[in-house]
Amino acid sequence: MKKDANYYINKSIFVTATNTDVGKTYACEKFLKYFAKAGLKVGYFKPCETGVIDKPLDGSKMFELTKELNKHFENVTLNDVVPYQFRLPAAPYVASKDTIIDIEFLKEKKKYLQSFCDILIIEGAGGLMVPVKKDLFMIDLINIFDSSAFLITPSKLGCINDTLLSCEALKNKNIDFEFFINLFQDIDTFDEVSKPFLIDYFGELNFLQDL
């Protein structure tokens, strides 16, 4: 991680990814533990979770971890942490069906949760261009929540293209970000196939597994 943990005090970090199933929840777990170990009171927020049957699995797991790391989070509920829960495993715009996703309501929830912590980890859904509304995408929530971003990218073949496209999208929105590689796919060939370009292009790389 390029910046010292204290840089993020009283701030929020939006954890996003190049696509779905890249490891955002795993990344949130790593970041929550990393900042807690650095002495910060951590918080967690997942505005929308889809594919919910009985309860939001990702949100519930991170909520329980957050309460272990920050006793002040025992004052909030799972519905505070994951305010929109939809059954259909699809983009929030599609999964919400007749439900209107209220952005002002989400901003209030974010402000409320941030009052219990030094740093709030916000987990997005899918990749940057996943639609929340017809004309509003996951990437737009980063600026709406006045957050910086941690972009999670995979180690599989094709990660160069996915990483560069996502980095360009964040730059075009003037979003302050760092990116982290999740070493879980094609790890036996990553050093030969993808790492040479990535290290030459970016100079240094962050890996989730190093946190």
End-to-end CA distance of the chain: 8
Catalytic residue among 30, 41, 46, 110: 46
DSSP SS3 for 136: strand
52 is in an annotated binding site: no
Domain hosting residue 42, numbered range: 5-210
CATH code of the domain containing 200: 3.40.50.300
169 is in an annotated binding site: no
| DSSP H or E run through 181 | strand 177-182
140 is in an annotated binding site: no
* pLDDT of 14 over the 90 cut: yes
Q: Which residue has the tokens 């995408």?
A: 137
Q: What is the mean pLDDT of residues 122-128?
A: 97
Q: Look up 195 and say whether it is catalytic.
A: no
* pLDDT of 1 over the 90 cut: no
* pLDDT of 2 over the 90 cut: no
Count of domains for the chain: 1
**What is the pTM for the complete model shown?**
0.96
Span 136-149, pLDDT tens digits: 999 999 999 999 99
Q: What is the mean pLDDT of residues 76-89?
A: 98
- Average predicted confidence (pLDDT) for the chain: 97
